[in-house]
Structure 1
Amino acid sequence: MNKSLVSATILAAGFIGLHANATEGGGNVYPNGAEGFMAGALPPQGLYYQNFLNHYTVNKLTDSNGDNSGADINLQATADVSRFIYMTDKKLFGADWGMYTTIPLVHVSGEVAANGVPVLSSTTSGLGDISISPLMLAWHQPNFHYAFALEVTAPTGEYNMNRFANPGRNYWVFTPVFVATYLNNGFEASAKFMYDFNGKNDDTHYKSGQEFHFDYAVGYHLNNYTLGIAGYYYQQMTDDKQNGAVYLDGYKGKAFAIGPALKLDTAAGYSLELRYQSEVSTENKPEGDKFWLKFTTKL
């Protein structure tokens, strides 16, 4: 088995579709690029529902230098993610107190080949790992909105260490989150910053490194439309380890994605956001394209 096929096999062994970066199996728990316009402007008191529909295609795996590893890989993933947000009428530190939960449903299929002959292939669907935040604090100023949250992701998704693809990661993740939106005379800049502390996968004795990543969007509001660009940046900060030893020189990943974005706010009170994101620079991870459709409404 050649070096590129080995790298692709390492990736595929734990691949869970839209959650693909470095760390174990090439994946991480958060679907980078999910947030876009008005990310930091949390709504007033009430119950809200968001739906994220995502499709991710991959046909390239990069090495530690960002070059094509030469692996013959084809991966397709579709996810439907539901998020419920509840903003209370309570105040804490001068902020509006809210909470949320995120529930992903994942379908992923993939194939790794050597000399045109399939070596690994798999198709699977199921519930992914559920995230919850009991503490989300939101502050509002005339042109600046921002919020802080503590998020916990539980290993609720199905996992089998011997299977090619898994809906779940099989470890806990703790993530501080900071979101912000600047809005002035129609111009908007929004971002969501996250830092992941990953637990250990007890089945594989693998501990993925800590991860810093952020989604961003820059645009202009014109009546009920917002037009601009959106994407994400990802960098793994600490080494991956297996059985306590550093794995493949740490197997640290990087990624940068960018693409057009369009948001529509309707008179009926719901919004739709459409985004295309191309991963233009990556290291130690798959490289592909993402399509997002986001729906938000008050319940």
Structure 2
Amino acid sequence: MKIKKMAYLASIAIAATIISQAALATEGGGSTYPMGAENYLVGALPPPGFYTLFYAEHYTADTLKDNNGNTVPINFKVTADALIPRFVWVTGNTFLGGQVAHAILIPLVRLDVNVNGTGQTKTGIGDLDITAVALGYHHSNKLHSVLGLDIFVPTGDYDKNALANIGRNYWTIQPVYAVSYIDPAGWNMDAKLMFDFNLKNKDTNYTSGKELHFDYSVGYGFANNWVAGVGGYAYKQITTDQQNGINVPNNKGQAFAIGPSIKYDNGKGFFITAKYQQEMDVRNRPEGKAFWIKALLPF
């Protein structure tokens, strides 16, 4: 029920130690956007007002996949925990026939990385996600959509020589389209499509490739405002990375995730969703699992 989601989190910047031993898609094998963060009601803006969304994630991975989908023989484990408030202002204005809204997301992250017996843990604020503008459309009482533009700001702690980084150290421009079909007594379907334009990390002279990905959920409504089904994400890196202006070969990433998903909506402006997702069909990235909770609190 909100505008695009999230800032950084478990984008797990696994860092130089792993990069030196295996080809990874995008710098550090992660992304600015935490894949699979969204769930039910992603494409439906509420009435004008101020809203607070809360996201919480627990992500773990101990397998790294290469360009052929084979497991890389590296002993490593990544654990990321995040609490992520998103403050949303749905204005009373309209533009091009849509509700105008703005938002900011502030991720609070704890990241633990261990590679071949060497570990590092960092805690702090990650990269901010600013929804510069979002336009919400209500095509019917069941079909809704949002068109918007997110900007990820490199505010998180970063050190090019560190094993764990909770910031990416580069800007990302992300156009977003989200759509929701909502039926309390029938099928519910949601998708959030994103395309990431990553700018250069000036500390490493590295530019991660463009990324196409979408979060999804499909469920069925039953008694007392509950919806149950499945959710996850699909991810594909479209262009190759570059370092010092030279293409990095055989490093485009991909992944797919799916798992059970559930939602409760009290019909009075509050809802909460929960999702578990397992990653699979992974290339040039870590393969792990995540548990997500999302809640909307109107005020």
Q: Distance in 2 between matches of 1:13 and 1:123?
A: 15
Structure 2 residue 255 is matched with structure 1 residue 255 = yes
Structure 2 residue 46 is matched with structure 1 residue 43 = yes
Q: Distance in 2 between matches of 1:181 and 1:35?
A: 12
Structure 2 residue 195 is matched with structure 1 residue 192 = no
Contact 1:14 1:27 in 2 (8 A): no
What is residue 210 of structure 2 aligned with on the other side?
A: 210
Contact 2:25 2:241 in 1 (8 A): no
What is residue 108 of structure 2 aligned with on the other side?
A: 105
What is residue 239 of structure 1 aligned with on the other side?
A: 240
- Secondary structure of the residue aligned to 1:163 is coil
Contact 2:150 2:176 in 1 (8 A): yes
User: Could you report, residue by residue, the CA deviation over 1:46-73 in whole angstroms, capped at 9, with x for unpaired residues?
Assistant: 1110111100010100010111112211
What's the TM-score, normalizing by structure 1? 0.90
Contact 2:52 2:87 in 1 (8 A): yes
Q: Distance in 2 between matches of 1:289 and 1:133?
A: 27
What is residue 145 of structure 1 aligned with on the other side?
A: 144
Deviates more, 1:204-213 or 1:139-148: 139-148
Letter in 2 for 1:98: A
Contact 1:193 1:213 in 2 (8 A): yes
What is residue 280 of structure 1 aligned with on the other side?
A: 280
Give the C-alpha shift of residue 189 in structure 1.
Answer: 0.9
Q: Number of residues paired by the alignment?
A: 279
Pairwise CA RMSD: 1.6
Q: Distance in 1 between matches of 2:161 and 2:15?
A: 11
User: Could you report, residue by residue, the CA deviation over 1:126-163 in whole angstroms, capped at 9, with x for unpaired residues?
Assistant: 11000112210011022311110011111111111111
**Higher helix fraction (1 or 2):** 1
Contact 2:100 2:133 in 1 (8 A): yes
Alpha-carbon spacing, 1:25–1:132, altered in 2? closer, same or farther (3 Å)? same
Aligned counterparts, 1:127-138, within 5 A: 127-138=125-136
Deviates more, 1:259-268 or 1:269-278: 259-268
Give the C-alpha shift of residue 271 in structure 1.
Answer: 1.4
Aligned counterparts, 1:49-88, within 5 A: 49-88=52-91
Letter in 2 for 1:206: Y
Alpha-carbon spacing, 1:14–1:292, altered in 2? closer, same or farther (3 Å)? farther
Contact 1:22 1:28 in 2 (8 A): no
What is residue 9 of structure 2 aligned with on the other side?
A: none
User: Could you report, residue by residue, the CA deviation over 1:233-289 in whole angstroms, capped at 9, with x for unpaired residues?
Assistant: 001000101100112x15110000000011111366421111100002200000000
User: Could you report, residue by residue, the CA deviation over 1:146-200 in whole angstroms, capped at 9, with x for unpaired residues?
Assistant: 1100111111111111111111111110000000012355211100000000000
What is residue 160 of structure 1 aligned with on the other side?
A: 159
Contact 1:263 1:273 in 2 (8 A): yes
Q: Distance in 1 between matches of 2:66 and 2:193?
A: 25
Alpha-carbon spacing, 1:241–1:89, altered in 2? closer, same or farther (3 Å)? same
- Secondary structure of the residue aligned to 1:25 is helix
- Secondary structure of the residue aligned to 1:168 is coil
What is residue 172 of structure 1 aligned with on the other side?
A: 171
User: Could you report, residue by residue, the CA deviation over 1:2-30 in whole angstroms, capped at 9, with x for unpaired residues?
Assistant: xxxxxxxx944399xxxxx8300011110
Q: Distance in 1 between matches of 2:115 and 2:293?
A: 28
Alpha-carbon spacing, 1:268–1:146, altered in 2? closer, same or farther (3 Å)? closer
Contact 2:15 2:162 in 1 (8 A): no
User: Could you report, residue by residue, the CA deviation over 1:18-46 in whole angstroms, capped at 9, with x for unpaired residues?
Assistant: xxx83000111101111111111111111
Alpha-carbon spacing, 1:227–1:261, altered in 2? closer, same or farther (3 Å)? same
Identity %: 42
Letter in 2 for 1:172: W
Q: Where does structure 2 lack aligned partners over 5 or more consecutive residues? A: 1-12, 19-23
Q: Distance in 2 between matches of 1:12 and 1:76?
A: 14
Give the C-alpha shift of residue 206 in structure 1.
Answer: 0.4
